[in-house]
Structure 1
């Protein structure tokens, strides 16, 4: 996940990176098996079918799920602090994982993958459709023919849902999220404030972070994907027993987009 502070180029403050790792990991853990199953449905048999590129990988929770299943993974993120957490998490898989400081809107890794993923609405942090399109172009370049690209996004309906204050107290951590949706500008502002227990449980550490998300029309996203060269675009939502296909992607809070590189 990338920070959107100051042109989307600064990394998270260390305290927030640590808080993200300790407090906001559940989404990746829940999403990983559903994305894995969705990918397996393709029955893709490419040269790089077991190579994963995790865009905006954060502390590497999703990648770790794939590492445990024999994938070779590459994670990119703008935050070196996040990448270091991912390296520590994947020490036992150091021969099949790498973590690279890079911008999701424009990257060149010089290799190909069978699967590229981005979760937790990280691509909403790209501030313009132009940058989102450049991201799609970079992904397309790195996918082998027939490869799959799966990502999720917060919709405008989702931004309206988050236009509120949320409080969560889990014992080991407390987090308050204050969301504001600017309908005219199609931007959502999220402010995180909270405390988490240190590893030795001796005290709590405070964290605070502010980020801005861009709420794209899914029709614009689809056009950008098609103009890049992607085809077979499908929409899903996360579910209790797995992803579920949906006909109207704008009518959900968070949408999963799955598409493929033309063979």
Structure 2
């Protein structure tokens, strides 16, 4: 799924994501080395990794997202290479100490095989002993929380109406979002449709272990607590 015009408003909509806390979670386990930030979006997390001392490579499938990320890195004076790749096809990348797939980006993969292929690609890209961090929506969030819509935002320069409905697969959700973005005196209207799918924690663990990873921890909602039935975001830390 390409993000299109969504890239231009993405950062404003993600202001409540604690990116610093995400970077700290990674740095608690590994303090330096080469890190591959998959599905990097506009590069907020990539920049944080670089600022705390990692040698960062940023990758995303969306050309629009990478354009914004490149501009961010240039303005910050950072030399971060960017690659336009799908997370399930890393084209032989290797030599990384850490790989991250942050902010439920893995949920954009449609099939079980794509998730398994992504784990295989990440495993191949990591050095022995390397760390893999990712997070996903819980079943509860996809099956229950997201269906409590529609959701709305009415801010000074942007507004949206966000409708959700069940997707074609079990534990999947379709997001239909209509944006209104201020352009001088007028508001531009555009629409985005995104579909996400998640799986049971036990399946993610199974696929990681089948790939050859050791699962270090599974926690929830930016805490060190194990997931429960009400958890919304599930964090995985695995090692090669």
Q: TM-score, normalised by structure 1?
A: 0.82
Q: Whose relative contact order is higher, 1 or 2, with alpha carbons under 8 Å and at least 6 apart?
A: 1
Cα pair distance change 1:154/1:106, threshold 3 Å: same
- Picking from 97, 107, 115, the partner of 1:132 is 115
Match of 1:25 in 2: 14
Matched, 1:120 2:103: yes
SS in 2 for 1:97: coil
Deviation, structure 1 residue 25 = 3.1
The answer for unaligned runs of 5 or more in structure 2 is none
Task: Describe the superposition over 1:162-211 as per-residue Cα deviations: whole angstroms up to 9, x where unpaired.
Answer: 1121111222211221112359732211111112234xx44332231111
Q: Decide whether the 8 Å contact of 1:235 with 1:249 is kept in 2.
A: no
Counterparts of residues 1-263 of structure 1 (less than 5 Å)? 3=1, 11-13=2-4, 15-21=5-11, 23-28=12-17, 30=18, 32-42=19-29, 44=30, 49-92=32-75, 96-159=79-142, 160-163=144-147, 164-181=149-166, 185-198=170-183, 201-238=184-221, 243-248=222-227, 251-261=230-240
Task: Describe the superposition over 1:240-260 as per-residue Cα deviations: whole angstroms up to 9, x where unpaired.
Answer: xxx312223554111111111
CA RMSD of aligned residues (A): 2.1
Tell me how far apart the structure 2 counterparts of residues 110 and 157 of structure 1 sit (CA, whole Å).
34
The answer for unaligned runs of 5 or more in structure 1 is 4-10
Q: Decide whether the 8 Å contact of 1:249 with 1:255 is kept in 2.
A: no
Task: Describe the superposition over 1:86-108 as per-residue Cα deviations: whole angstroms up to 9, x where unpaired.
Answer: 10110156663111111111212
Deviation, structure 1 residue 228 = 0.6
SS in 1 for 2:140: helix
Q: How many residues align?
A: 238
SS in 2 for 1:89: helix
Q: TM-score, normalised by structure 2?
A: 0.90
The ranges of structure 1 where at least 4 consecutive aligned residues each deviate by more than 4 angstroms after the TM superposition are: 92-95
Tell me how far apart the structure 2 counterparts of residues 125 and 35 of structure 1 sit (CA, whole Å).
20
